[in-house]
Copies of this chain bind each other. A is one copy, B any other.
Amino acid sequence: MKQLKIKCWIEEDGEKFYGPGPHELLKQIQKEGSLSKAAEQMQMSYKKAWAIVQRLNQLSKEALVILKKGGQHGGGAEVSLYALEIMKEYDELQLKIQQLIEQEEKLLKVLK
């Protein structure tokens, strides 16, 4: 199956900041309420997921993920209201991109 794909992301000084990976991770955190479970869902090591969250929080104006350790259930993770706004913006941009590439099928003719 041949297809035209597009992805978009935000960069800060050439370093990737927010893209498909972090976006999906935030969605999983929102769903699971736990960073380790979110990582597991994405078949990603906890360490990598944790590093992504650190970068997201450090580079954005407000924290995107609130991490809590200890307590009744050992701790947990949740996305901030600010993160929800960004996720919405990103979803909307992706929709626009999707609409753009659906009109663009000429390039696919190159393949057998």
Task: Say yes or no: B5 contacts A9, CB within 8 Å.
Answer: yes
Question: Which of these binds chain B: A36-44, A71-79, A90-98?
Answer: A90-98
**Closest CB in chain B relative to A14 CB, distance in Å:** 8
Number of chain copies forming the complex: 2
Query: Which residues of A are at the interface with B, using a C-beta cutoff of 8 A?
Result: 1-13, 17-18, 59-61, 82, 86, 89-90, 93, 96-97, 100-101, 104, 106-112
Interface SS, A side: mixed
Does A12 contact B2, Cβ atoms closer than 8 Å? yes
The contact of A111 among B10, B97, B110, by CB within 8 Å, is B10
Instruction: Report which of B1, B8, B89, B107 forms a contact with A6, defined as CB distance below 8 A.
Output: B8
